[in-house]
Chain A
Amino acid sequence: MSASSPQIHSSWLTDPKVRAWVFQILSVVFVVAFGWFLFDNTQTNLANRGITSGFSFLDNSAGFGIAQHLIDYSESDSYGRVFLVGLLNTLLVSAIGIVLATILGFVIGVARLSPNWLIGKVATIYIEIFRNIPPLLQIFFWYFAILLPLPGPKQSLSLGDTFFLSNRGLNMPGPAPGDGFWPFVIALGLTVAGIFLLVRWVRKRFEATGQTFPALLTSIAMLLLIPGLAILIFGNPFAWTVPELKGFNFRGGLVVIPEFIALTLALSIYTASFIAEIVRSGIQAVSHGQTEAARSLGLKPSVTLRKVIIPQALRVIIPPLTSQYLNLVKNSSLAAGIGYPDMVSLFAGTVLNQTGQAIEVIAITMSVYLSISISISILMNWYNSRIALVER
């Protein structure tokens, strides 16, 4: 532009910069005012109802029992402890659900691409059935239609007199810490650390000199030998107890409550149908030329799969896979529907009803889920930037 071009005189009203400022200020003012309006109403309402806000209720005694607790818990424990129990139960169901859903999902996703017509059809039918039924309905089905109508402990279905399935849940042999428990744990920890170091050394040496080292075989040998040695020296780490029918219920062993079974089954079956689709599209996203190129370079089919197909498919699979994991964690809150003692049903359900501290309870619950999802998405972004294709 030359300096002599005529200046356009326009009113500041049509200047986009001014408008942007005005608009932003207005929207911030509106949001703040709206927030203040809610805050003010809440203050008035709380004062009228005589509810004191604050987190001191967390120290009060809860006074109710919980069917499943991973840490010691009794009725006289505080609401804070209830929160912890619920959080751990949520994490337990999510972790097991994620493992099961991943295994099932990968198997079905690969089966869907199978050249075998029957296997492909069975996988497709599985996916189409289970992803189109609401997860809550699936939970109800397993819980109310399958598990609760089972016979009582006395007539329970048993497998080899060690596993018993009844309407009280699944009773199975459970580990209790034995003589060699702590030496075993320490040995296991040392081994894992050793394998970690070994793998790093192998990779460094490979990059520097090109020499390979059978890292996988060595790690397996280490895993078997070192903890095994600990067991031989210090004795059995676990004293297994087997459930026995005494009176009307089982004694000993590990009890898996029916709510947990229903929730885990439903969540992993539901999520697996989505994971299967993700796996399928990930594998299909790797073009056939890649396979052909690898084969023409003389790589064996197994090496082609391991070094060419899977790394490229994983790049497509992992981001949506994590969002499915996140969905599973969030869906575990459906536990409230059948009364599995997870964080939502214990804390946002029972504790909220007993204390009436709606705002604090909901805020704590939501912030737990928010921090889980934010940390996963930060991890995801970091991973994405690490594996992103460097394009020209």
Chain B
Amino acid sequence: MATHTFKPDQPAPLMSVGVLAWLRNNLFSNWFNTLLTLTAVYLVWLIIPPVLNWAFINADWSGTDRAACTGEGACWVFIQVRFSQFMYGFYPEALRWRVDLTLVLAILGAAPLFVSWMPRKVLYAAGFLLLYPVIAYVLLSGGFFGMEVVRSDSWGGLMLTLVIAAIGISGALPLGIMLALGRRSDMPAVRVLCVTFIEFWRGVPLITVLFMSSVMLPLFLPEGMNFDKLIRALIGIILFQSAYIAEVVRGGLQAIPKGQYEAAAAMGLGYWRMMGLVILPQALKLVIPGIVNTFIALFKDTSLVIIIGLFDLLNSIKQATTDPAWLGMATEGYVFAALVFWIFCFGMSRYSMSIERKLETGHKR
């Protein structure tokens, strides 16, 4: 009996598997696509090699002063020499461990919040949010337990940027939630007040708000009462951002089905317990990505305090580039600042996206 033997399979056509197929499908599928690819390659070739040359290959990395920069490329020595000023501003050098400790405590304290299996997270978060600002204030500002006082005018650099961002968001979040509740309230007077407040702050640029808090706030206050510049800026930033938070939270409140409100009311819960136990936990969870995005915007907006003369990261760098010993370092300085801001903002936006993905299961209607 003759047995039928199959011939061995022929290999797949060269153009349908592997690198070649990928290239063909993704880059050269038709003449238009090919043209686009070639244009993009040309563009990349035009930009990337000079940038790499400037930033790495021709750059000077070590040294202590301007004379160390002989190459054609970037002079990272400038950043290296001024690094501590960019991080701490004019915070006294001997006391900078206090800033470091504050940061370490923040990271250690906040870390459990990002662990998904942590029990009693809400309780812990509340405790942390109540306790940590006190500790941070004591550490940064001093004046207790025989610690030397460091006035806020000598705060600066990245540290000041982070302080403004942290205080800004922790002030704006509760205020924003209250405003959002007020805007959705049944009481017309409260609603009108909240809508006016929100629309006012959303309608003006932050710069005018900062101008206002620096020139008008002293006029508003009673005789003899005065805040320092940092607190005035913070008041402006908190009021401004709370309006944006309010709109984000309102979106979450609107997404909660009416049945939830009715069920809570049918259980005999009053307004505050209905909101606190039923509505807000669901609504806030829905809008975490929106809140993170607002926070990113706030973080970028902190750079505006330069207008009223606070020495945040951007202003420290701007001042350093005007130093006669380091003239012509503007590109290096601003590229460094951009990198720092970018790392923070990009990290947060990735975090917000991952939360969005995690929350997407089953919540979409």
Contacts and interface: CB of A to CB of B under 8 A. Distances in A.
Nearest to B35: A116
A135 B200 CA distance: 22
Interface residues of A, number: 58
Interface stretch (A66-74, A202-210, A238-246, A329-337): A329-337
Contact of B338 (A117, A141, A144): A141
B208 A133 contact: no
A25 B187 CA distance: 10
A115 B347 CA distance: 27
A372 B207 CA distance: 16
Interface stretch (A37-45, A154-162, A379-387): A37-45
15 contacts: A41-B219, A115-B29, A116-B26, A129-B342, A136-B314, A137-B303, A138-B338, A141-B334, A141-B335, A145-B334, A334-B207, A336-B307, A359-B216, A366-B212, A372-B203
B190 A23 contact: yes
B318 A333 contact: no
Interface in A312-366: 330-331, 333-334, 336-337, 344, 348-349, 352, 358-359, 362, 365-366
Contacts of A129: 342
Interface of A: 20, 23-25, 27-28, 31, 38, 41-42, 44-46, 48, 114-119, 122, 128-129, 131-138, 140-141, 144-146, 148-149, 330-331, 333-334, 336-337, 344, 348-349, 352, 358-359, 362, 365-366, 369-370, 372-374
Contact-size category for B = 35 or more
Given A145-B334, A336-B307, A115 B220 contact: no
B52 interface: no
Nearest to B199: A374
A331 B206 CA distance: 8
Given A27-B190, A136-B303, A137-B314, A359 B219 contact: yes
A137 to B, nearest CB: 6
B304 interface: yes
Interface in B31-53: 33, 36-37, 40-41, 43-44
A117 B27 contact: yes
B303 to A, nearest CB: 4
Given A114-B36, A348-B208, A366-B204, A136 B220 contact: no
A322 to B, nearest CB: 13
A133 B342 contact: yes
Contact of A149 (B307, B328, B335, B346): B328
A138 B342 CA distance: 12
A128 B204 contact: no
Nearest to A40: B222
Contacts of B189: 24-25, 27-28
A42 B219 contact: yes
Contacts of A45: 218-219, 223
Given A20-B186, A136-B304, A118 B207 contact: no
Contacts of A334: 207, 304
Contacts of B223: 41, 44-45, 48
A349 B222 CA distance: 25
Given A117-B26, A336-B307, A122 B40 contact: yes
A132 B343 CA distance: 8
B205 interface: yes
B188, B193, B204, B220, most chain A CB atoms within 10 A: B204
Contact of A330 (B204, B219, B346): B204
Please name the 9 residue pairs, one residue from A and one from B, whose CB atoms are nearest each other, closest first. A132-B345, A330-B205, A24-B189, A134-B300, A117-B26, A373-B203, A145-B330, A145-B331, A333-B205
Given A27-B193, A122-B44, A128-B346, A370 B204 contact: yes
A48 B219 CA distance: 10
